[in-house]
Amino acid sequence: MKHFLILIFTLGILFTANIMASGRSDGIASIKPDKINHDADTGRVSDDYFRPVLDSFLEKCFLGNNYERLLKNEAPEISEFIHPVIGVRRYYNPGAFGFIAGKEEGYGFYNPEQYLKYDFPLSEMAVFDITPENGFCEESDNENGVYYFSEEKFPEVVDMETLESIDVTLPAGFIPSQIMRVNVLFEGWRYADLWFAQVEGKWYLVFIDGRDCSA
């Protein structure tokens, strides 16, 4: 009887520890401070809490859907991934130079039919935590899939007066503790380039890079 009670007590402790160790997987996941740093040995960013957010975004907004149409229509499916103050801005290039536009500028959809009409043709894709090779101006040999990796800063834009590069940041008062970039490769080419930032302990979609190779 004594051994039986000890066994029950031990199983109870293990069960409780397992529950406490499990993370959230419902949409925007909370980030614990000890999970957001680069690994000292590999330099990789821990994806323990970003991956559930990415999986949720792909399921609700991307696969078999059109995330840019959801964005333009302010659909609830994508709104849960957008910070109410930071919002989302989109890089675009109607010519040789790239610009950046937010909600007030219509996200730079200068030819909406080109972007908003078609849904992504696949309902599932493999996900890889590596940087893909090419896919933008040169065809990639990587297989179809979603690739995510860390970045140090957001893409720059060009000042039209000085033709110098300008750093792009979040609105004043918001500093990302991590930046994750998501590339979707389809048939050898980059189909989407999404930028997520961890702000105030949560992950948000903050930029979409819709520029083509002419920029």
Question: Could you read off the pLDDT of 39-83 as tens digits, one per residue?
Answer: 333 334 445 589 999 999 999 999 999 999 999 999 999 999 999
144, part of any domain: yes
Number of domains in the chain: 1
* pTM given for the model: 0.76
The answer to whether residue 4 is domain-embedded is no
More confident: 1 or 86: 86
Residue 16 resides in a domain: no
- 57, 180 contact by CB (below 8 A): no
6 lies in some domain: no
pLDDT value at 5 more than 70: no
* 34 C-beta neighbours (distance < 10 Å), count: 7
Please provide the DSSP assignment of 1-66 as one string: -HHHHHHHHHHHHHHHHHHHHPPP-SSS----GGGSSBPTTT-PBP-TTHHHHHHHHIIIIITTS-
Q: Is residue 186 part of a domain?
A: yes
pLDDT single digits (tens) 112-152:
666 677 899 999 999 999 999 999 989 999 999 999 999 99
Q: Is residue 18 part of a domain?
A: no
Domain that includes residue 86, residue range: 29-209
Flag whether 116 is in a domain: yes
Q: Answer whether residue 3 is part of any domain.
A: no
Distance CA 136, CA 118 (A): 20
Helices (H) and strands (E) in the chain, counts: 5, 9
